[in-house]
Chains A and B, each alone.
Chain A
């Protein structure tokens, strides 16, 4: 049911389609976006962005890392990338010189305009999250130069979304396991509490109150039949969040209803009503799993859940009663089609 999942729940077929739809859908969507970006050359792969570098301390040809002010003309920027966003007037970056060449590092916390922000995100590593551009078109620079006209070439960005979905799949699989393990404590707390309620006979104590209310909803169950007691127990177990107890009780109630069923394999109106009440039942104790996930927030949600279940229960009852009366379902009702056999099991309604 809600919290306690048996080893192998029979999964509905539709879930297979939704699930594969999500996975295949993400691949197709990612491929579409990636192809579009490649066709548009959104990131201007292999094209250098003109920039002016200013050296506050003067250029040092031997310095491995030295401070540099990166200035990008916003008109040039807008023209090159075809965007409205504009870069800041200047960025306080670092010029890194190695044997492989000269690279400019943007500050890690810079508010970069698109598509630079995406380029940064794509190439960011844990060690070096900064956006880096390789210096091209720069003339040989003498020492103590204050200003340098150059161009920055960024690493190309290709199949960005494809990489994103693969990364997301790995991240979320990891999250799933750690999330589940983080729930153990609160789940244990809640399951311990409701176990006390179960042992103390909380649901049995209330069946006397609930049974007369339920009786009119199950017209084919005789007044003194144990089915009604089991139905009440099952529904009350749901109300108090006793998921462990609810399923066996529900199955017991179903077996009782099957005894009253003139047909072997066709559901009766009463069975459908039991099901509708089960899926919509009023919740006084929120599901343990939800408490574990939401933590203290559950305090407020208690009220919204109670109200929402109140509406859905009313709708479930009314909807089921209406469906009972539809000619299509009426025709297949075991209690009408085989009324003669049913007579001894079912006294005339009072």
Chain B
């Protein structure tokens, strides 16, 4: 069963990026969009986004880098591994779980840092990348959405959002283990 799913995923995954690369322009063409001009207009933002995230990346990467270099990260991972191991979660992914709901660009930096540490192909990197892709920056969404309409008492918005994040966190670990483990 799992073997079948894995092989199906293996075959289908070859089509993901090509489908995106061709799908959007094709759909645009059918809908009569001036695809080339619109693409260029959108692509312009690539530079802005990259530049905008630099301060966030610096902030999170240097702090994480220091934490790693001091040996505190290894210490923490070794200490937490037996506990988290009980539920099948490698301790290496914990920083992502803590940082993801707080900062989007920062957690992107964390993914990049872990690629450096563990290699692009490693399971923990796949797990954190899945976490990054599968949840939003909950506190940011709360701040922006509720701030826009002046809601001060957010009631159960934070627990609801964090619960969804938590399940997404666990699901990322288990799904990656199932698909690629």
Interface of B (DSSP majority class): helix
Chain A residues touching B, range:
35 or more
B-side interface residues, number (CB < 8 Å) = 112
Interface 0/1 of A308-350, CB less than 8 Å to B: 1101110110011001101001001100000000000000000
Question: B118 near A: Cβ within 8 Å?
Answer: no
Q: Would B66 and A22 count as touching, CB distance under 8 A?
A: yes
A33 within 8 A of B: yes
B136-A278 in contact (CB<8A): yes
| Cβ contact within 8 Å between B165 and A179 | no
Which chain A residues (257-299) contact chain B, with CB distance < 8 Å? 257-258, 264-267, 271-276, 278-281, 283, 285-290, 293-299
B168 and A283 form a contact (CB under 8 A): no
> Quick one: which of B12, B40, B63 contacts A303, CB cutoff 8 A?
B12
A315 contacts B69, CB within 8 Å? no
B64 in contact with A9 (CB, 8 Å): no
Contacts of A192 in B (CB 8 A): 38-43, 46
User: What CA separation (Å) do A105 and B109 show in the bound complex?
Assistant: 39
Q: A265–B142 Cα gap in the complex (Å)?
A: 14
Known: A200-B28, A276-B161. A26 touches B67 (CB 8 A): yes
Rounded to whole angstroms, the CA-CA distance of A161 and B72 in the bound complex is 10
Contact A304 B104 (CB under 8 A): no
Complex CA gap A210/B47 in Å reads 33
A145 within 8 A of B: no
* Cα–Cα, bound, A10→B104 (Å): 12
Query: Which residues on the A side are within 8 Å of B175 (C-beta)?
Result: 304, 307-308, 311
- Between A and B, 18 residue pairs with Cβ closer than 8 Å are A4-B45, A4-B49, A179-B61, A189-B43, A189-B46, A190-B46, A192-B40, A200-B28, A272-B154, A288-B49, A300-B10, A300-B126, A304-B179, A307-B171, A312-B135, A315-B168, A319-B167, A320-B160
Residues of B within 8 A of A (CB): 9-10, 12-14, 16-17, 20-21, 24-25, 27-28, 30-31, 33, 35, 38-47, 49-54, 56-72, 75, 98-99, 101-106, 108-109, 111-113, 115-116, 120-121, 126, 129-157, 159-161, 163-165, 167-168, 171-172, 175-176, 179-180
User: B-contacting residues of A (Cβ < 8 Å)?
Assistant: 1-5, 7, 9-12, 14-15, 18-19, 22-23, 25-27, 29-30, 33, 161, 164-165, 167-169, 171-173, 175-177, 179-181, 183-202, 238, 244, 247, 250-251, 254-255, 257-258, 264-267, 271-276, 278-281, 283, 285-290, 293-305, 307-309, 311-313, 315-316, 319-320, 323-324, 326, 329, 332-333
- Other contacts beyond A172-B58, A275-B146: 5, CB < 8 A: A29-B71, A199-B33, A300-B9, A303-B9, A315-B168
